[in-house]
């Protein structure tokens, strides 16, 4: 069993060594992570410049690319055999609801799925400094079950862990992706020379508190696990559109 660990926060994230610690019992752990923060890069690939890989420790590499680049290197780089599992994270901040479409953390796990292996994305719901130790224990437990029980091809797990002492976690909930309230996500300011500038992000995201969602579970102190599929086709709409006049 070979496990690729990557992230989008960069090779300096303390979460990487914590994931290595909890995943090492399952097999060989290889870390390939971006050389700097690549959050919100989604599934971006670097196509217009060369990429450089640096060995920074035993089975540990940094790459001057995106999280998805890192996964591609693990599967197609000649320096290692193909991984059997991709674990991405632990992200420093949430990846819930529609944010999975922006997330570099989730994208790396998706890339693993596209390469034919299970993908696990994990995020700790805080921006505060943390050592990720207890969160990594949770991820290790869920990965163990993933390996024991099996996971369908093209499926991935998106884990979000509430930021509180482990003794205050209520358990693990299987959830669906929630919905964000998109509001004030583009902030307009004036720079010292009087020109407008804009900042994407604004305040922390606000969520619709719907029962059964990732956000609702995390907010109530549960670890949230959302199984995700990459099937985006709207099959019901396909059937409906058969009734359209589609002659050219």
Q: How far is the CB of 38 from Mn ion (least distance, A)?
A: 7
Answer yes or no: are the C-beta atoms of 42 and 108 closer than 8 Å.
Answer: no
CB nearer Mn ion, residue 34 or residue 162:
34
Give which of 4, 18, 232 is closest to 109, Cα–Cα: 4
Least distance to Mn ion from the beta carbon of 241, Å?
A: 38
Stretch that binds Mn ion, among 9-17, 139-147, 185-193, 222-230 (CB under 5 A): 9-17
| Helix (H/G/I), strand (E/B), else coil: 192 | coil
Q: Is 6 in the site for Mn ion (CB under 5 A)?
A: no
39 binds Mn ion (CB under 5 A): yes
Residues in binding contact with Mn ion, number by CB under 5 A: 4
Q: Which of 3, 5, 8, 162 binds Mn ion (CB under 5 A)?
A: 8
- 65 in the Ramachandran plot: left (φ > 0), alpha (ψ -120 to 50) or beta? beta
> Does 111 contact Mn ion by CB under 5 A?
no
CA 33, CA 163: separation in Å to the nearest integer?
A: 23
Give the Cα separation of 206 and 210 in Å (integer): 12
With helix as H, strand as E and coil as C, how does 68-132 read? HHHHHHHHHCCCCCCCCEEEEEEEECCCCHHHHHCCHHHHHHHHHHHCCCCEEEEEEECCCCCCC
- Other C-beta atoms lying within 10 Å of the C-beta of residue 61: 22
CB of 48 to Mn ion, least distance (A): 23
Which of residues 11 and 151 has its CB atom nearest to Mn ion in the complex?
11
Q: Which is nearer to Mn ion, 9 or 35 (CB)?
A: 9
State which residue, 71 or 151, has the beta carbon closest to Mn ion.
71
φ/ψ of 180, rounded to 5, equals -85, 155
Lookup: tokens for 144:
């163990």
User: Using CB under 5 A, which of the segments 24-32, 35-43, 78-86, 202-210 binds Mn ion?
Assistant: 35-43
Is the CB of 131 or the CB of 152 nearer to Mn ion?
131
Nearest-CB residue to Mn ion? 39
Angle between helices 133-149 and 15-23 (to 10 degrees): 40
Distance of closest approach, residue 92 Cβ to Mn ion, in angstroms: 6
By CB under 5 A, the residues from 77 to 96 that bind Mn ion are: 91
Q: Does 123 bind Mn ion (CB under 5 A)?
A: no
With CB under 5 A as the contact rule, which of the stretches 31-39, 81-89, 174-182, 236-244 interacts with Mn ion?
Answer: 31-39
Nearer to Mn ion, 94 or 118 (CB): 94
Judged by beta carbon, residue 88 or residue 151, the one nearer Mn ion is 88
Helices (H), 127-186: 133-149
9 binds Mn ion (CB under 5 A): yes
Binding residues (CB under 5 A) for Mn ion: these are 8-9, 39, 91
């Amino acid at each position: 069993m070979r496990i690729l660990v990557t992230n989008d926060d960069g090779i300096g994230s303390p979460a990487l060594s914590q994931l290595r610690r909890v995943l090492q019992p399952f097999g060989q752990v290889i870390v390939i992570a971006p050389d700097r923060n690549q959050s919100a890069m989604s599934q971006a690939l670097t196509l217009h410049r060369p990429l450089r890989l640096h060995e920074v420790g035993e089975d540990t590499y940094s790459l001057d690319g995106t999280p998805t680049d890192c996964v591609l290197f693990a599967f197609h780089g000649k320096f290692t055999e193909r991984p059997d599992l991709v674990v991405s994270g632990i992200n420093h901040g949430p990846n819930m609801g529609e944010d999975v479409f922006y997330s570099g953390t989730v994208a790396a796990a998706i890339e693993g799925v596209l390469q034919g292996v299970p993908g696990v994305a994990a995020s700790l719901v805080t921006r505060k400094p943390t050592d990720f130790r207890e969160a990594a224990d949770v991820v290790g437990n869920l990965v163990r079950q993933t390996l024991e029980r099996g996971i369908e091809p093209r499926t991935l797990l998106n884990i979000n862990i509430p930021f509180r002492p482990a003794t205050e976690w209520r358990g693990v909930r299987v959830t669906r992706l929630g919905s964000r309230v998109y509001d004030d996500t583009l902030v307009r300011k004036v720079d010292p020379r009087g020109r407008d500038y804009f900042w994407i992000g604004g305040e922390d995201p606000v969520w619709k508190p719907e029962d059964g969602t990732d956000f609702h579970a995390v907010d109530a102190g549960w670890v949230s696990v959302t199984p995700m599929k990459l099937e985006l086709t709207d099959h019901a709409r396909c059937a409906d559109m058969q009734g359209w006049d589609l002659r050219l």
